């Protein structure tokens, strides 16, 4: 089953947040490009980010005591 969510719309994004605890897989797409994926394993999440977004994410993780090595660059072709 697929549900289209416009994450720029607060009400639709709120719906996504409500569904997250009850789903086994979530993917985000921009056109035909997959930009994030999370599954029920609870051990990984991958997403496409800009260099600025990566720096901001690393800063926020560091503020929570999470080492930058928690993130890995996905090898090409995957």
Q: In the chain, which stretches have pLDDT less than 70?
A: 1, 41-44, 75-78
Contact of 35 with 47, CB cutoff 8 Å: yes
* Residue whose pair of structure tokens reads 């991958």 in the numeric block: 46
Predicted local distance difference test score (pLDDT) of residue 59 = 92
Contact of 36 with 47, CB cutoff 8 Å: yes
The pLDDT tens digits of the residues spanning 41-61 come to: 666 677 778 889 889 989 998
pTM strictly above 0.75: no
Predicted local distance difference test score (pLDDT) of residue 63 = 92
- Cα(68)–Cα(59) distance, integer angstroms: 9
């Amino acid at each position: 089953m697929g549900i289209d969510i416009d994450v720029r719309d607060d009400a639709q994004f709120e719906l996504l947040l409500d569904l997250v605890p009850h789903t086994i897989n979530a993917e985000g797409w921009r056109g035909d490009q997959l930009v994030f994926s999370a599954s029920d394993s609870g051990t990984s999440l991958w997403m496409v980010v800009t260099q600025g977004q990566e720096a901001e994410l690393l800063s926020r993780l560091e503020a929570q005591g999470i080492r930058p090595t928690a993130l890995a660059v996905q090898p090409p072709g995957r």
